[in-house]
Structure 1
Amino acid sequence: MIRGYNEKLEFMARNDPLTGLMNRSAFNDSFNDYLHLSKRRDDPLSLIFFDIDNFKAINDTLGHQMGDHVLVQVSEILKTRLRCTDIIGRWGGEEFIIGLINTDQENAEVIAEALRSAFEEDPRLIHLSSIPITASFGIVTTRSGDTIDTLLTRVDAAMYKAKELGKNRVEKAE
């Protein structure tokens, strides 16, 4: 019984309570492990960072409970469309982050574009909201000397560039 409680406490400490995805802290820990492994093996490592477009309008128009349903469905799409070796986190609010081990920029772009389309075309999301559910994506691939902080800065800038260029798109980091 105690072991069960401890496992539940550990899950609660590392996972977002709404989506079940890793929380920011757990994601950072796991991604740092991936980053060290990637450097040691000289394998590509990419990050996808995205934000659900117009999420405030969903909450304001349809209510926060509907917003929660959208977040849960987005997380379900992520869980079913990504590899078991990928790490997925809810960064905060309507922002999500994905670590793609052994994935170069070209393949990260293909994955991000597939997710972008999946959100836009998902029958459950279409049914949930009269407001189209789309997302703006930034992608980055490691280069020599990168740290988690440099990668997060670059991928965040790419995501904001996608927002500035009209939303519902994928942008690569500089």
Structure 2
Amino acid sequence: MTAIMGGNALIHDNYLLASSLLLACICFYGGHFYLKTTQHHKEPATGVLIALSSLMLYLIYSGGVDNTGPLWIYIIPPVALFLGGLSVGLFNIFVFISLAILLMFYDNGALLATEYSVSFKLRLIYSFLTVTFLSYCYEYSRKLSLNNIKELSEKFEKMAKHDALTGLSNRRDMMDKIQIEYARISRSHNTACLLLCDIDHFKQVNDNYGHEAGDIILTQLSTHFKNMVRQQDVVSRWGGEEFLFLLPDANLNSAEAAAENIREKIADIQFKIGKSSTKITLSIGVSTLSENRSITDSIGKADKFLYKAKQNGRNQVCSSKSVALNKNTTN
């Protein structure tokens, strides 16, 4: 639009107006190009606001075409508030209107290249302030709406990735994290480990204390799990009373030691259920996550060793290493 108006002014031999419009046009395109190439919005937004404000002040000074130039100043409030935000935008508007008032009213218009009636100048300022107020209300409402949408989005994203009862990662989120870790170890040729654990005789807890007690234990257990693992480890509720741990940069020996540590500590904890308390034990299966085996196979191995731990009497850790040791001992 600025380029078209600049071209029109050029055709009508209004070279000063044409130069101002075309220079502003170059600034607008420059800001757009800078934003597209650098993805930084602060600098081009500032440049556009300065160019736009300067052009509007020039239109007030010169009158534009048939003294209609000042009518364009109404685009300042929405643009300033959108590009600069509420506080910075209002500051820019204040600076602009202060300079505009100075231009129009100083020494009865001595700074102007044209003439406006006092009535026109007053109505221009009043209407500009009204548009500023409405633009501010709109931008404020838009910001509120965006913040509400962002909060809802974060809430739904958390619900999609976390178990509602325990707050741990759910099965879907854990699979995403395992896939990311699998891609990493495929590049680095390191290993990670998986621990799949299950609460022993959990049905008896529900039968003795009720399903609400089961939920209480699951919640308390999840809190203990989070306090027992490293910062880089991930704990998820895999389903029911099953939990899956992802231990990055861990080999079978360190993973088995971590699983044993978890098992022993949990076995010593008194879980409070109202006025009562109870103890629980865990059976844990350990497997490696490596580039030589698929994710599904690695989880399947952990599940297989978990089943083996339950077969062997529960409250124990089982892995390919412990199975091999048991075979050697038996032989």
User: 1:78 maps to which residue?
Assistant: 225
Aligned length: 172
Task: Tell me if the contact between 2:189 and 2:291 (Cα under 8 Å) persists in the aligned partners.
Answer: no
Instruction: Report the 3-state secondary structure (helix = DSSP H, G, I; strand = E; otherwise coil) of the residue aligned with 2:293.
Output: coil
Instruction: Report the 3-state secondary structure (helix = DSSP H, G, I; strand = E; otherwise coil) of the residue aligned with 2:206.
Output: helix
- Structure 1 or 2, whichever has the larger Rg, is 2
Matched, 1:91 2:234: no
Matched, 1:145 2:292: yes
How far did 1:152 drift?
Answer: 1.0
Q: Supply the distance in 1 between the matched residues of 2:209 and 2:250 (Cα, whole angstroms).
A: 37
Q: Supply the distance in 2 between the matched residues of 1:38 and 1:143 (Cα, whole angstroms).
A: 7
How far did 1:145 drift?
Answer: 2.1
Matched, 1:107 2:254: yes
Task: Tell me if the contact between 2:235 and 2:244 (Cα under 8 Å) persists in the aligned partners.
Answer: yes
Match of 2:161 among 4, 9, 14: 14
**Deviations 1:105-129 (Å, cap 9, x if unpaired)?**
0000111011101111123x2x436
How far did 1:130 drift?
Answer: 5.3
User: 1:35 maps to which residue?
Assistant: 182
Task: Tell me if the contact between 2:186 and 2:290 (Cα under 8 Å) persists in the aligned partners.
Answer: no
Instruction: Report the 3-state secondary structure (helix = DSSP H, G, I; strand = E; otherwise coil) of the residue aligned with 1:67.
Output: helix
Q: 1:38 to 1:143 in 2, by over 3 A?
A: closer
Task: Tell me if the contact between 1:24 and 1:90 (Cα under 8 Å) persists in the aligned partners.
Answer: yes
Give TM-score, length-normalised by structure 2.
0.50
Instruction: Report the 3-state secondary structure (helix = DSSP H, G, I; strand = E; otherwise coil) of the residue aligned with 1:96.
Output: strand
Instruction: Report the 3-state secondary structure (helix = DSSP H, G, I; strand = E; otherwise coil) of the residue aligned with 1:102.
Output: coil
Paired letter, 1:42 = H
**Deviations 1:3-45 (Å, cap 9, x if unpaired)?**
0010000000111000000110110011111011012111121
How far did 1:61 drift?
Answer: 1.1
How far did 1:132 drift?
Answer: 3.0
Structure with the higher fraction of residues in strand conformation: 1
Match of 2:192 among 40, 45, 58: 45
Structure with the higher fraction of residues in helix conformation: 2
Q: Supply the distance in 1 between the matched residues of 2:290 and 2:190 (Cα, whole angstroms).
A: 10
Gaps of 5+ in 2: 1-147, 324-331
User: 2:170 maps to which residue?
Assistant: 23
Instruction: Report the 3-state secondary structure (helix = DSSP H, G, I; strand = E; otherwise coil) of the residue aligned with 1:51.
Output: strand
**Deviations 1:78-128 (Å, cap 9, x if unpaired)?**
1111112111110000000000000000000111011101111123x2x43
How far did 1:141 drift?
Answer: 1.2
Instruction: Report the 3-state secondary structure (helix = DSSP H, G, I; strand = E; otherwise coil) of the residue aligned with 2:195.
Output: strand
Question: Quick one: higher RCO (CA 8 Å, sep 6+), 1 or 2?
Answer: 1
Q: Supply the distance in 1 between the matched residues of 2:291 and 2:225 (Cα, whole angstroms).
A: 29
Paired letter, 1:163 = K
Q: Supply the distance in 2 between the matched residues of 1:77 and 1:109 (Cα, whole angstroms).
A: 18
Paired letter, 1:41 = S
Q: 1:19 to 1:100 in 2, by over 3 A?
A: same
Identity of aligned residues (%): 36
Matched, 1:60 2:207: yes
User: 1:116 maps to which residue?
Assistant: 263
How far did 1:142 drift?
Answer: 2.9
User: 1:154 maps to which residue?
Assistant: 301
